[in-house]
Structure 1
């Protein structure tokens, strides 16, 4: 089976997530917005599903892998809905005078919006190539890369000298952490692509997406038109945005499942 140690990366990502968002989310659960709760819960569920799904094939538990794989049809739409929730919360925080989001809300939302589309594409392609072990696993695992940037960026901002944000006076330097995290994720994607170019298509796509995030963070995400569109989301009902995410996620997994690629019997894993 490919990516034999991928489950270890997912475990590390989960631990890093708890550390990264301890101060901004986990210790202030009672005051967090509904949008942040939706994102936190659905992203956590998706990471746990990725962990189990990357571990079971390595232990020969193919039947369990197939059964739990059906949860993708629920988990991806929910994750997409949660992604819309966090964008709405950042926009509301920006309009509400939150000093961090006043600086970075629109630019972080750009990264999240690009990641939203990339994750749905990768999930759909993973289902489309469900009969090809390497492509299926690559596309599915690549959905974790959009989570690296927000997690690693906050880890850097809490631990690495020169990047540490101790208070509002340090908010302007957070962008360096975000971009370094994007760069690290991009390097990982390129490395995974180069080690297996023939089956590395998922990682080539992920690397291209990260490149768009890096460049867009410094250009389009600072444009008046993007900022205006971002702030507009704060005035929309949260339920509408989450419903849009739910529908987009449902369409992505439905298209992936109903439009399978040609089956390769040498690497079939799912019936």
Structure 2
């Protein structure tokens, strides 16, 4: 089976997430906006599902792996709804004059929007290639790469001298930490792509998305048009945005399940 030790990466990502968001979320749970809670729950569900799906086939639990696979049809729409919820909360903070989001809200919204699109595409393709072990596993695991930037960017902002944020006066250095996280994600995607080029398409797609995030963070995310659209999101009803995200998730998994797998490729490669 491919990616035998990938579950260790997921465990590392979960631990890094707790460390990265401890001060700004986990230690102040009662004060956090509802959108962050929804995103935290749905993203946690997705990471735990990836962990279980990565661990089970390498420990003789194929039946459990297949049973958990059915959770994908619920977890993807929930994740998409949660992503729209956190984008709504960031936009609301920007509209409300929060000093951090006034600087970075629109740019983080841009990254999160691309990340959501990448996850929906990868999850759908994982279902489409469910009989091709390497492609299926690659697409599923590639959904974790967009989480590297927001997680490890904040890890860098807590640990690396010159990037550490002690208070509002240091908010301007946040963007450099986020871009370092993007570069780390790009390096991992490139390594995995070159390691297995025959079945490296999932990582090539992920690398393209990350490259768009890196460039767009410094260009398009600055534009007046994107900022206007982002601020408009903050004024919309949260249930409507979450319903839109959930619907996008349903469409992604339905299309992935229904679309025929491309012919001429091996169904399995253990």
TM above 0.5, one fold? Answer: yes
Q: Within the alignment, does 1:210 sit opposite 2:207 as a pair?
A: no
Distance 1:21 1:243 in 2: 26
Per-residue deviation at 1:130? 0.1
Per-residue CA shift, 1:113-149, capped at 9, x if unaligned?
0001000000000000000000000000000001111
Distance 2:235 2:75 in 1: 27
Per-residue CA shift, 1:57-108, capped at 9, x if unaligned?
1112111100010000000000000000000000000111110000000000
Per-residue deviation at 1:266? 5.5
Q: Are the aligned partners of 2:133 and 2:267 in contact in 1 as well (CA < 8 Å)?
A: no
Structure 2 match to 1:125: 125
- Report the aligned-residue RMSD: 1.2
Structure 2 match to 1:87: 87
Structure 1 match to 2:110: 110
Structure 1 match to 2:18: 18
Bigger drift between 255-264 and 195-204 goes to 255-264
Q: Are the aligned partners of 2:154 and 2:177 in contact in 1 as well (CA < 8 Å)?
A: yes
Per-residue deviation at 1:260? 3.3
Bigger drift between 254-263 and 59-68 goes to 254-263
Unaligned runs of 5+ in 1: none
TM-score normalised per structure 1: 0.97
Distance 1:215 1:268 in 2: 35
Distance 2:57 2:163 in 1: 39
Structure 2 match to 1:139: 139
Q: Are the aligned partners of 1:73 and 1:253 in contact in 2 as well (CA < 8 Å)?
A: yes
Unaligned runs of 5+ in 2: none
Structure 2 match to 1:222: 222
Structure 1 match to 2:156: 156
Structure 1 match to 2:49: 49
Instruction: Specify the SS of the correspondent of 1:109.
Output: helix
Moved over 2 A (4+): 262-266
TM-score normalised per structure 2: 0.98
Distance 1:154 1:103 in 2: 16
Distance 1:174 1:45 in 2: 27
Per-residue CA shift, 1:218-242, capped at 9, x if unaligned?
0000001000000000110000000
Per-residue CA shift, 1:132-187, capped at 9, x if unaligned?
00000000000000111100000000111111000000000111000000000001
